[in-house]
Amino acid sequence: MKSINFRWKIVLLTFGLISLIVCILGGYFYLSIYNKAEDDISHIENELIDIKKKELKSVTKIVFSSIESASEELTEKTQEKLKANTEMVFALLEARYQEAIKSSNPRRAIQKTKKELIREFDKLRFDETGYLWIHSYNPREIEKPYMIMHPFVTEANGKDISEFRYTSGPNQGEIIYATNIEDSVPFFVQMNLVVANNGEGFVDYDWPKPGHKGYQAKSSFVKLFKPFGWVIGIGAYIDDIEPEIKKE
């Protein structure tokens, strides 16, 4: 009887040991599977985050590309408009010049025509803030322009503008330079250099805006009318273009 009880104890003990081993192995496999699942989930989450980052970068790139495209398109439209206004003025200049040289006294007629045109151009406006000015061009003194007519900065009329300076603000007293070139060239001098080389072109700089305080960034189209030695300039303020860019 004692032998049977001893055997049962061995059987039960063996069964218990086997059960314990099974539980330990089961727990180990469970923890291994659980940890692997967590690693897989973490890996998937990281992949999803990377995908979202790439999507955001792609969307951001598209948005900035659209803004740049809209800016370039509006800049081109503005430049075309400035050129169109200048060509209109030059058509009038050429017609009045031809009329003067065909008169009985061309020299006197040309002087009279110049005075009339200056008075007319002084009152000419384009949109809300657009106007034109006239400064001199002498091929022997390209870097010594003087102002012939400016409708708003009248104190400059008849004066040397080769080193035109800021009259107010933090840069008061400093020379105003062209901002679309690397070299430090006074912007009126740069305008004369542009027309000397190409007959026409664009120059960027800072300039007072009618009805506003301080100086504003401006881009102007300038063109030479050789018979009179006049440089005609018509510009647009950058802050007038920016609202249109934001709309786009």
User: What's 3's DSSP letter?
Assistant: H
Dump pLDDT digits (tens) for 2-46.
455 656 666 566 666 676 666 676 666 656 665 665 666 666 666
Residue in the structure block whose two tokens are 């430090």: 184
Residue 59 has pLDDT above 50, yes or no: no
- Give pLDDT, residue 209: 85
Least trusted range by pLDDT, from 49-53, 114-118, 158-162, 204-208:
49-53
Quote the CA–CA distance of 100 and 151 in Å, as a whole number. 25
- Cβ-contact 217, 204 below 8 angstroms: yes
Give exposure, 45-65, as e/b (b: 16+ Cβ within 10 Å).
eeeeeeeeeeeeeeeeeeeee
- Cβ-contact 187, 212 below 8 angstroms: no
Quote the CA–CA distance of 226 and 150 in Å, as a whole number. 19
- Give pLDDT, residue 64: 38
Residue 49 has pLDDT above 60, yes or no: yes
Check: pTM over 0.75? Answer yes or no. Answer: no
Dump pLDDT digits (tens) for 151-179.
999 999 999 999 999 988 899 999 999 99
Residue 113 has pLDDT above 50, yes or no: yes
Residue in the structure block whose two tokens are 């000419």: 124
